[in-house]
Every structure is written in structure tokens, then in C-alpha cells.
Amino acid sequence: MTAGAEGHPGIVTAEDAVTVILVRDAPHVDAGGARLEVLLLERHGASAFAPGALVFPGGKLDPTDAALDPRRVRCTDPHGWAERLGVDGAAAAVAMLVAAVRETFEEAGVLLARQVGAEHDAPSLPADLERTRVRMAARDGAYDWREWLARHELVLDLDALAMWSWWVTPKGLPRRYDTRFLVAGMPTGQAATHDAVETTSMRWIPPAAALAAHAEGHLHVIYPTRRTLEQLATHSDAASVLRAARSGAVDLRRIEPSVVRVDGAPMVQHPDGGPPAEV
């Protein structure tokens, strides 16, 4: 067995991105006594990044994320978020969290928001919610949701999010992302759907079942998603996951693996060591 560093003459800069792990409890416990499920979306086979892979909803930041009226967000600890996200200041942190909520709405149809004055778990959401989501998911940049949020007096609930981990695409790849993994509970009264643009299907699945299906060759799950599922699989329910994230009982280091070749095949090497893994 031989291994060597994988590299390109030029190093592509990693773009800031966010992804949201939506968690919920299944109606019944599994054989191991757990009921935790996570939402995974299947990326379109023609996608430039991770085609056909199962991923959490998410994506890159958009300029409008930083331009949202402050009255349209609820974030009680923006300075703390700036430190966790590794960004320069509260405004940058809020913009990144807004991007997380927007991408979750576009890709999964789940809106982490409530109307002004609503404090209960299942706020009444606008009747044109799905139509707005479809227009945003079109990815043609023609629809700006800020006026829609204001018209319906919607406030994005950034406090629903908690930091889970931070992964960077290895150097030497043509597309690289500096991705913050966030976690949120699935809102009561909403149903997730895939966008039929960047994704072709979705499923709620126990983390251990997703890992087993990948190992058996039935599902394609990329390395950082697998590592995240391994962490999630140690929790029995959604409340346990959210407690761990909110208490800081998670690894928030900025983890940047490297790509190595093992017997000519590209594999991923975690910076902490250990055996190389499939991409």
C-alpha cells in the first residue's frame, strides 16, 4: 500500500457556506432504543459538487443575507455567534445565520421563523409559503424574499440554530467550501420537501441506518456527512442532540482534512490521524 499527497498547482479558496442538520424524533424507538431521525437530501446527479450524495440542506452565502432588515431576525447572542462561526463581528454572524435559514427554506421547504408577537411552537405561516419557496429555489436570482418577510411580519428565528461542527473541503479539489454545520429541531406543524432543482429526493432516517446503507452501497454519503452522522448516532433523540450543541459539548474546531492517494485511489485523511477514508 502506498500513499502520497494529492495537490494541484493552484489552491482554490474555500467559500463560506452553511448547512443545517434538521433533527426530529420518530414515533417509535428503534431496536437500539433510539428515535432520532435526521433529514437528508439527495443532490442532483448533474450537480457540480457531490452529485448523487445525501447531504443536509445548505449552501453558500448570498449578498442579500447581509442586507436583511434587523427587525426581521431574532438573535439574542450575535457576538457569541461571531466567535463560534469564526467571523468578524456580529453583523457577519447574523448574515451567516440568515443564509442558513434561507437555504433550509429553499432546499427543504422548512422555515425557521415566526410572525411578530407569536411565541408558541407552531406559528401560523403565510398561505403563499410554498409558492415563495418555489420562486426562491429556482436559483435564478430573480426573487428577493425580503419584501415577503416584511409583508407577512415574519421574523427569522436564528435562536433556533446551534453550532455543531466546522468542516473545510480539502485543498487540491476544484470546488472548496468552508462550511459551518448547524443544528435545529424540526418545527412543529411543518413538513419537509426536496426542491426538485438541486435535489431529487429526501428522507428522514436514523443516523445509524444512513451509515449502514452507505456501507452496504445503497446510499452515497460523503466524508464530512458520514462523520457528522457518526456523532449524531451517539444520541438517542433530538433533545439530546440539541442539548449537546447548546451546551458546547461538541467539537467546534475548524477541521480541514487532506486528500491522499492510497494504491492510486483518492482518499480523505483526517488531520487528527487515523486510517484514510473514502471520499
Q: State which residues form the domain around 213.
A: 3-278
Q: What is the CATH number of the domain that holds 94?
A: 3.90.79.10
**Regarding predicted confidence, which is higher, 52 or 82?**
82
CA distance 206 to 194: 18
CA distance 132 to 148: 8
Q: pLDDT by residue (tens digit) across 145-183?
A: 999 999 999 999 999 999 999 999 999 888 899 999 999
- Give yes or no for residue 117 having a pLDDT over 90: no
Q: pLDDT by residue (tens digit) across 93-104?
A: 999 999 999 999
Burial pattern 98-125, b for ≥16 Cβ within 10 A else e, equals: bbbbbbbbbbbbbbbbbeeeeeeeebeb
pLDDT of residue 50: 59
Region of 248 on the Ramachandran plot (φ > 0 left; ψ -120 to 50 alpha; else beta): left
CA distance 195 to 229: 23
pLDDT of residue 3: 43
- Give yes or no for residue 24 having a pLDDT over 90: yes
Question: How many CB atoms within 10 Å of residue 212?
Answer: 14
Which of the four pLDDT bands, split at 50, 70 and 90, describes residue 47? low
- The three-class DSSP label of residue 152 is coil
In sequence order, what are the residues at sequence separation of 6 or more whose Cβ sits closer than 8 angstroms to the Cβ of residue 138? 197
Region 14-42: what's the mean pLDDT?
Answer: 93
Region 190-219: what's the mean pLDDT?
Answer: 93
Cβ(7)–Cβ(262) below 8 Å: no
- Give yes or no for residue 71 having a pLDDT over 80: yes
CA angle at 58 for the pair 57 and 60, rounded to the nearest 5°: 165
Which of the four pLDDT bands, split at 50, 70 and 90, describes residue 1? very low
Q: pLDDT by residue (tens digit) across 215-243?
A: 999 999 999 999 999 999 999 999 999 99
Lowest average pLDDT, out of 43-47, 74-78, 88-92, 190-194, goes to 43-47
Q: pLDDT by residue (tens digit) across 121-141?
A: 545 789 999 999 999 988 777
The mean pLDDT value of the chain amounts to 90
Number of structural domains the chain divides into: 1
pLDDT of residue 51: 65
Region 102-118: what's the mean pLDDT?
Answer: 91
pLDDT of residue 5: 43
Region 197-202: what's the mean pLDDT?
Answer: 88
pLDDT of residue 10: 65
Region 107-132: what's the mean pLDDT?
Answer: 82
pLDDT of residue 170: 93
